[in-house]
Amino acid sequence: MKPSEYIEKCKRTEVQEYQFAILKSADHWVPPRIEHAVMGLVTEAGECMDAIKKTKIYGKPFDKVNIIEECGDTMWYLSILLDELGVSYEEVMAKNIAKLAKRYPEKFTEELALNRNLEAERKTLEGGV
């Protein structure tokens, strides 16, 4: 399945009306689909962490099936977010790789991770050099 097809299939199961208050202020308004998607991403990341906690703290077997399920749920919310932002998975992936190439020209180092050139990274993300 292509990423664009996946996004379209995700939209089929998306909520159509939100129950939370939507406040529209010119400078501080966040579209409700973005709020919903980010809330969901955080929730699903927490569920991934909970699965790890159950193994590391409570001694339960590592549940790969559950982690894969949570990855799918995370992708669903990410798909809604990307659709609302009007951007494709491919564009986001390309920008991420370009940013990482700017940050780590040769390979990852702790030094480069701690001393990032955020201005250069931002220019890369905005389509500059």
Provide mean pLDDT across the span 59-69: 97
The Cβ of residue 93 has, within 10 Å, a number of other Cβ atoms equal to: 11
CATH 1.10.287.1080 fits 1-13+30-87, yes or no: yes
Instruction: Give, in order, the Cα–Cα distances in Å from 34 to each of 55, 94, 126.
Output: 32, 21, 20
Q: Residue 129 pLDDT > 60, yes or no?
A: no
What is this structure's pTM?
0.84
Does position 7 have pLDDT exceeding 70, yes or no? yes
Task: Give the burial class of 10: count Cβ atoms within 10 A of its Cβ; 0-12 exposed, 13-18 middle, 19 or more buried.
Answer: middle
User: What pLDDT band is residue 19 in, cutting at 50, 70 and 90?
Assistant: confident
* 76-108 residue pLDDT tens: 999 999 999 999 999 999 999 999 999 999 999
Interval 20-39 mean pLDDT = 81
Gyration radius (Cα) of the chain, Å:
18
Q: Which residues in the chain are classed under CATH 1.10.287.1080?
A: 1-13+30-87
